[in-house]
Amino acid sequence: MHHVLQIPELLRIIFEHGEREAVVQCAQVCRMLSEVALDVLWHTVDSLPAFANLLAPVKKENNNDGVVYEFDPLPGFKDWSRFQSTYCDRVRVLRFKDHDSFSPLLNMIQRLRSLSPLLPKLHTLDWEGNHNRFLDSAIFMHEGVRDYCLRYSLQGHEVTSIAEAVAEAITTRMPSLTALDLHVYPPEEYVEPLLTVFRNLPTLAEITIPAFTDIFRILSCLSSSPKLKQLTFFDCGDDEAVTDTGIALQGEIFAPLVELSICRVSYSNLSSFLSQHRLEGLRIFRVYSLAIEERKAVEQLLSSFAPNLVELDIGHGVGPPATADNTNIDFQHITFDDFRAISR
């Protein structure tokens, strides 16, 4: 073998740009190639059945509750020891997006595993499913996870208890999170649990959460966060708009904040908050209202912006203005002159 191909860093770059089938074949050539190839192959896991199949054969069955995955035959402790030493340390990113049942697989793994983290070098956990699937995700949480994304909605279940369980799992099992992305519905039940999360996770630098009707409590809680650089209130598809951004907060707020995005808020509502806080560190600002805004509201919003913006994105939804007749909208008369308040 050429000495250049004995450089692990170079091999990794080659494998990362190769076809998966080719990398699988390289993993069977020799030990050195195998180690690098396996690192690349299992750096990111986006199929739990495929990964679990490395432990023992996995079968797929259909029953009255949908698709269920199970081990057949069941793995033993020797199988687990091989699986743990060969594969578990390689996984850095786990993405789950499915509504099938993997509980039999995960329950068996839970019986066999040691007390140490299941995937000790995992730093990114992205989980989508119903409320039962969230409970399954808890076995992958540990102190080394830095980036957590959860997407699910509740229908006919006790929202408050699930929201509290989510908050408790995040704060106790992943205390060093730097990025939190929660796409949950219905969102209003999550305000109190989220306040608990934010108070206990001062390391958070990126937060993405629904645009709650009252975001002032969230803004107030996060205003003194020492690490927060990116804050996003996304459109959760609810019929309610953001109606309360609160009164002025005391002292210097959001000092490290670089990027702020808010959806489902009227320009006039937001202007009252921004006009009282300069947010000098803010560089990127995005705001989207539910309706086409009148020129006066646009002017007020522009005049209240942070002084050091380098990127601005303002927009609206498809609905009519809340306080104006469509025929009276002078949106077409807004010109670049109206942007002088934020121009250099």
The pLDDT score that the predictor gives to residue 2 is 54
Q: Where are the domains of the chain?
A: 1-40, 42-122
Of residues 248, 259, 169, the one with CA closest to residue 216: 248
Point out the least confidently predicted range of 65-74, 167-176, 333-342: 333-342
Burial class of residue 20 in the structure, from the number of CB atoms within 10 Å of its CB (0-12 exposed, 13-18 middle, 19+ buried) = exposed
Give the model confidence (pLDDT) of 83-136 as tens digits: 999 999 999 999 988 767 788 899 999 999 988 899 999 999 999 876 667 778
Give the predicted TM-score (pTM) of the model. 0.84
- The better pLDDT of the pair 47, 336 is held by 47
The pLDDT score that the predictor gives to residue 148 is 96
Give the model confidence (pLDDT) of 274-288 as tens digits: 777 778 888 998 888
